[in-house]
Amino acid sequence: MTQESPVVLVAGSANVDFVVRAPHIPAPGETVLGGAFQTFAGGKGANQAVACARAGGVATHMLLALGEDAFAAPIEASLQSAGVTMHVRRPEGVATGSAFICVDDQAENAITVAPGANACLQDADLPALLGFSHLLMQLEIPLASVHAYALAAKASGLRVVLNAAPAQALPIDLLSAVDVLVVNEGELRTMAGMEGSVAECLARLPCPTVVVTLGARGCVARDGGTYVVQTGFAVQAVDTTGAGDTFCGALVAALAHAQPLTEAMRRASAAAALACTKMGAQSSVPTTQAVTDFLAQTSTHDDSHALADLRQYAGLT
């Protein structure tokens, strides 16, 4: 690795996803007769690493933990296919993480995760940080490890990006080490501890830059005292699984390439939209060229009404 080219390190979870289609997501106590069943490589960390490399076109490494079982192989194959360099820990006697996902006819999903080996990543597992420009993490590995990695990266001069998902209370010194915080709307309100508008919640968080994804509406960021708004791209959604992870990976890759936040959010939004058009998490991540082509096709469309609606929804008007 050299300082001339950006290199992103992702530290996070890797799962095998068991996905079933169903007319709707079951309510408590309800049994639903489903349709097609498939397995995919997944996990927020691995999804984001694939997105960094494939959709973002940036050199990407990943710290992950896998079991010594058959479920580890497809995850490693997927990461390798995307060009991700792996730093794998294999805790003895622990299974590879898994996720059980129901996708309904509206492309929405419900997910239950069994962490398995992901829960075994420790402070000492972090590789040497020389040569990395950014560290990207999520909250599907132990919080103590996320905390330790963030402080180590900050001390080494890396930009720290945290996707605070699943949402939970975070120590103030961890948040103080985060340069860019990425959340969805529910996670934003959990982190802010209030039910106010998007803008009000963004203002309560101490990180220098906070980006909130708002599904098909688009995304909004507070960058210091400035707000950035990006409307969503209309696509025919098939499966939204992994769309948020694709957004995170593509966003960090663009930032690593020194693109301004406005352009990074635009590319990330396009990549996430394209990810919704295919089944699976990592299998749906588009290539850099596909994102570029998609943006070229939509670059002349300036939907001022959608922009005004998004600003109003976020409480910016």
Beta strands in the chain (DSSP E): 7-11, 15-21, 37-42, 59-65, 85-89, 97-103, 109-114, 134-137, 159-163, 180-184, 209-213, 218-223, 226-231
DSSP for 58-99 reads -EEEEEEE--SSTTHHHHHHHHHHTTPEEEEE--TT-PPEEE
Q: Residue type at 151?
A: L
Question: Which one of the listed residues 125, 245, 302, 309 is annotated catalytic?
Answer: 245
- 245 in active site: yes
List all residues 6 or more positions away from 225 whose beta carbon is below 8 Å from its beta carbon: none
Q: How far apart are CA 159 and CA 177, in angstroms?
A: 9
Q: Residue type at 30?
A: E
**Residue tagged 């994804």 (tokens):** 213
Q: With contact defined as beta carbons under 8 Å apart, do 279 and 238 qualify? A: yes
Residue 52 CB: number of other CB atoms within 10 A?
Answer: 34
Q: Residue type at 181?
A: L
C-alpha 173 chain-centroid distance: 22
Catalytic residues: 245
